Amino acid sequence: MIVAAFSAGFSEQIAVSCPDSFRNGSAGGVWQAFWEVSAIPRGSKREEGLRIFLKSEAVRLGLAASIDQVGNLLVKMPATAGRETDPVTVCHAHLDMVCDRTPESTHDFECNAIVPVASGEWVTANGTTLGADNGIGVAALLDLMRGSSKDHGRLELLFTVDEEGDFTGVYGLTPASFEGRRLINLDSETDGELNIGCAGGRADKTVIPWRRKPAGGSEVQAIRVMIGSLQGGHSGVDINRGRANAIHLAGRLLRTVASVVPVRLIAIRGGSIDTTIPRDVSLDVAIPTKHLPFLAEMLPTLQKRLRREFAQADPGIELRVIPIMGRQSDALSVDDTRRFTDFLLDVPCGVQQMSKQFPEMVETSMNPGVLTTATDSVVLISHLQSSKLSAINALGEKLAQLAGRLGADVEIGVPYPPWQTSPDAPLVKKVCDIYGAIGGSPMRLNVVHAGLECGAIGERIPGMEMVSFGPTIENAHTPRERLNIGSVERFHTLLARLLAAKF
């Protein structure tokens, strides 16, 4: 298959073919489509190449395709013979992916293809996010376009943009965007689990004034302390796994060092996206030169302590020191460094409340996700998430109170709403019945602690009956993301049988 991939400043013809072992299975068309989708760069707000490719495929296949004012693509498929009067079903996936890589990777997400790698029961990428979230959903819809389902009513295939960003795609939808009022979202990540609800959330931006003063002369040394090699993970589905947050660890490190050494913070940066648990942080600090040997002894001890504390969830935590050569930078005062450290430690981090309705599920959490230093400020972007809007607002108020101690401003992010449907809804019951026949085990109902576009769709288009399911994806939003091969087979079968069912 030759894929024509187009994006800003990039146009390339790419020959794409997945391994025969994948193409020859029952979900071979999905796997071939996934390899093709992976070849096209598609970061949030940069989905044009994939959108053009999918629309071109639809036109080639004789299907009606249109792009709305915000960039969403809708492809309409006619019913197979005898199904013309069935209700219209909307099948939905998002085009964009989280773009993250290991420090060693040279991958350029603007122009390089992601090449999936099969290893045992899993498919991964080489040093980057795989993009199975939500590339496998897009691939399933591309496979449908190409005729993999021989028995279905009228279908509307909806491809939205910017799900991993600001939800600008789904917020551009209106009741007139499509005809169907039954929607199958393909953006879930656990085989055998049917999501009938999701958390809402928002990303709040805290801008903290950064009042610098000269760091000192030859008696002061600037050094860079690196906190790295953390597991990270999705700020929703992985938040209850007990993994360390590198930004929170930075606060702990600063407090530990400052308890015995006068430390002044020059700059701090870490994290990549607010919906990812940050895996690394770097701190540039100024300390008296005479205390350098003591710091060199302290950090290995602190590293051992953290590795013991996170032995199960995050065993590979690393602390490293790199001298900063040249002119000493200006820095915060010792007192301002202490106040900023207190702020980092007081900001809510991780699980805040478990669900009473689903005791094993997280109800409310907060992820301090991205921290950057500018000339006169430090910016922290935090992801607030809950199945209750009141809990999100309460977290936001607490963040604002903490920020106020530093004279900081908080810009409240655009919220996306929670969603929940009835366990007794006909669509829910049908999915569960079909999966039970396929897998031999009951499908679990779940309200996922992550943001799905179903919430915004339900808010903007009243009367939508929705469910969400997908194959197993682990460590989404990180370079350790992996897609389970066997679960894709069941995912493909479930979707095909659900579309063939009459109800």
Cβ–Cβ under 8 Å, residues 313 and 243 = yes
Reported as type and span, the H/E element at residue 460 is helix 454-460
Chain centre to alpha carbon of residue 437: 32
Give the pair of three-digit tokens for residue 142.
Answer: 């591309």
Cβ–Cβ under 8 Å, residues 466 and 187 = no
Give the pair of three-digit tokens for residue 496.
Answer: 């095909």
Q: What's the rounded Cα separation, in Å, for the pair 390 and 22?
A: 46
Beta strands per DSSP E along 22-148: 64-67, 73-77, 89-94, 117-119, 122-124
Q: Which residues are catalytic?
A: 96, 163
R_g (Cα) of the chain, nearest Å: 24
Q: What is the secondary structure of 176-245 as a DSSP string? A: TS-S-SEEEE-----TTEEEEEE-EEEEEEEEEE---B---STTEEEEEEEEE-----BTTTTGGG----
Q: What's the rounded Cα separation, in Å, for the pair 473 and 125?
A: 13
List of residues 6+ apart from 390 with CB closer than 8 A: none
Number of helical H runs and strand E runs in the chain: 11, 24
The CA-based angle 34-40-45, given to 5 degrees, is 115
Q: What's the rounded Cα separation, in Å, for the pair 252 and 247?
A: 9
Reported as type and span, the H/E element at residue 465 is strand 465-468
Round to the nearest angstrom and report the end-to-end CA distance of the chain: 37
